Structure 1
Amino acid sequence: MTDAQGRRLHACARALAPGATIVEIGSFRGRSAIVLALAAPAGTRIVCIDPHAGSDRGPQEFAPDAALGDADTAAFAANLAAAGVADRVEHVRAFSDAPAAFAAVPGPVELLYVDGAHRYGPALADLTDWGARVAPGGTLLVHDTFSSVGVTLATLRRLLPDPAWSYAGRDGSLARWVRTAGGPPSWAARAADAARVLGQLPWFARNVLLKAVLLARLRPLARLLGHGPADGPWPY
């Protein structure tokens, strides 16, 4: 999560009315959860869903590892406590498609932040099943859009053709969508929305190429693609 993305999370959480519900899918060690908890108005319910299975922790980390998962859970709890927000966050240690996860949030969601498994299948399921719970006028933030292949393909399949969603821009790879309220948008509005989304595909192609370059340790070529030391190990 970049600083700009943290500011976006903060702004979206701060704009909520008291009594709203925030759901985060994929919490890792709590950095984004802390931002949400510090920004959200009093009375906001914040539910963080993460199985902490030691898998899908970052680039090229797919296999489960129970010891890593337990360490992540402990770090998550410790970081929330250190930030003074442990009492504001509910942690559901389950996969996002598990019955326990859905049971924990029976009502509508005003802010949904998806940063779970980036493979196509899980990403599509999160956008479909959890996206359906976002209230009209609510916000969906999707991390690694136009950066991860799986997340981007899931976004193009699930959100782009759905008139219930309007693309509201991005901060790096953090895409913001708003669930439309009222009647469906006009065809002209939908066409303009699609053009804005498809206009991000060159940046997506650049990120896919950049990841291949970084994996091959071709740092000079990465710099030519605009990725320097200050940008961290991965394009976000």
Structure 2
Amino acid sequence: MIEGWLTEGQAARLEAAAARSRPSGAVVEIGSFRGKSAVVLARAARSLIAIDPHAGSDRGPQEIGADAARGDADFEAFHANLESAGVADRVRHVRKFSSEAHADVTGPLSLLYVDGAHRFGPARSDLHDWGVRVAPGGVMLVHDSFSSIGVTLALLVECFWSPRWRYVGRTGSLAEFERVVDGPRDVGAWLRELPWFARNVVIKVLVVAGQRRWAERIGLDPAAPWPY
């Protein structure tokens, strides 16, 4: 089993998005960690560009700072997991930060999966700079939506009022958006997610405060360290 935070339900949503008909363009993943989502995307889409610097930074909750040894271990595990799953020949790994990798990907994107740094600044840059490259009719999926504060704020700034994105729905914290041309702004769909977001914020505060028992009482999965 590959280590990672993608649930079975989220993997199914990711697989379905990658398998369905889409406009021409690359399938790009930002944030690969040890390959759990990359395997799903490579199997369904048959070709994937995976962007991850494997610097040991922003690799999980409360693991923000860079750590070269940790990053190299993730890099080795990532490629070993691709080999074990039989998809290594379908994945091109770009070992760079997403902000530095644009020249490594040519043309438009048909699918973009964003699971990179969850801080507001990097998350907003990924959504804006890579999202603008998704072709009309393409799809963008964002992990830790309405769960991570930084990612959620970035989504609100970049997608909430944007006529380019139609909110399709979510599986847990994996949100799906369709790239459209001057579409209607479905504010109601976003507002319906705010109570779930507020619940997740409270859960995270309780976990950090050492009150996990209370976090589980309001919905945290006992088997999960954080709400996903």
TM-score (norm 2): 0.94
Task: Give the secondary-structure state (helix, strand or coil) at the position aligned to 1:168.
Answer: strand
Separation in structure 2 between the aligned mates of residue 171 and residue 206 of structure 1, nearest angstrom:
16
Separation in structure 1 between the aligned mates of residue 25 and residue 17 of structure 2, nearest angstrom:
12
Separation in structure 2 between the aligned mates of residue 167 and residue 148 of structure 1, nearest angstrom:
18
Shift of 1:228: 3.3
Answer whether contact 1:109 1:134 (CA < 8 A) is retained.
Answer: yes
Tell me which residue corresponds to 1:176: 176
Tell me which residue corresponds to 1:213: 206
Q: Deviations over 1:6-45 (max 9, x none)?
A: 00011011114596421000000000000011112x5xx3
Q: 1:76 aligns with which of 75, 78, 88?
A: 78
Tell me which residue corresponds to 2:111: 111
Number of aligned pairs? 223
Tell me which residue corresponds to 2:197: 204
Q: What is the letter of the counterpart of residue 210 of structure 2?
A: R
Separation in structure 1 between the aligned mates of residue 23 and residue 149 of structure 2, nearest angstrom:
36
TM-score (norm 1): 0.91
Q: Deviations over 1:35-85 (max 9, x none)?
A: 011112x5xx31000000000010000110001111110000000000000
Task: Give the secondary-structure state (helix, strand or coil) at the position aligned to 1:118.
Answer: coil
Which portions of structure 1, spanning 4 or more consecutive aligned residues, are displaced by more than 3 angstroms? 16-20
Answer whether contact 1:16 1:110 (CA < 8 A) is retained.
Answer: no
Answer whether contact 2:139 2:178 (CA < 8 A) is retained.
Answer: yes
Which consecutive residues of structure 2, in runs of 5 or more, have no partner in the other structure?
Answer: 1-5
CA separation of 1:112 and 1:27: change in aligned 2, threshold 3 A? same
CA RMSD across the alignment: 1.3
Q: What is the letter of the counterpart of residue 199 of structure 2?
A: R
Shift of 1:222: 1.3
Q: 1:195 aligns with which of 188, 208, 212?
A: 188
Q: Deviations over 1:88-113 (max 9, x none)?
A: 00000000001xx1111120000000
Separation in structure 2 between the aligned mates of residue 29 and residue 157 of structure 1, nearest angstrom:
29
Answer whether contact 1:53 1:66 (CA < 8 A) is retained.
Answer: yes
Separation in structure 2 between the aligned mates of residue 222 and residue 145 of structure 1, nearest angstrom:
19
Q: 2:10 aligns with which of 1, 5, 10?
A: 5
Separation in structure 1 between the aligned mates of residue 188 and residue 44 of structure 2, nearest angstrom:
32
Q: Deviations over 1:137-187 (max 9, x none)?
A: 100000001000100000000011110111001111111110114xx23xx
Answer whether contact 1:37 1:85 (CA < 8 A) is retained.
Answer: yes
Shift of 1:219: 2.4
